[in-house]
């Protein structure tokens, strides 16, 4: 039984995490391979990837970054 004068225990919201679904916004051939500018479909985080060869998967060459909030 809960007394009428007690308050609920405050809950600290946990940050939501998800696996990013990267979408290619643009790609540019360079001497090192193809540079891909990608964006997460869910949270709009952006990253730069490099695909050294068409038969190899891209690898991140930057950390994810978000646009500044207004």
The model's pLDDT over 11-58, given as tens digits with 9 standing for 90+, comes to 776 666 788 899 999 999 999 999 999 999 988 899 999 999 999 999
CA torsion 66→38→60→56, rounded to 10°?
170
pLDDT digits over 2-11, tens only?
566 777 777 7
> What predicted TM-score, i.e. pTM, was given to this entire model?
0.67
CA 47 distance to own-chain centroid: 8
- Rounded CA gap, 44 and 58, in Å? 19
């Amino acid at each position: 039984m809960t007394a009428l004068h007690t308050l609920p225990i405050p809950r600290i919201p946990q940050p939501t995490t998800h696996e990013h679904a990267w979408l290619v916004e643009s790609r540019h051939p360079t001497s090192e391979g193809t540079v891909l500018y990608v964006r997460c479909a869910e949270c709009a985080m952006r990253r730069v990837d490099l695909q050294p060869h068409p038969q190899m998967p891209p690898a991140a060459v930057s950390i994810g970054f978000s646009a500044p909030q207004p």
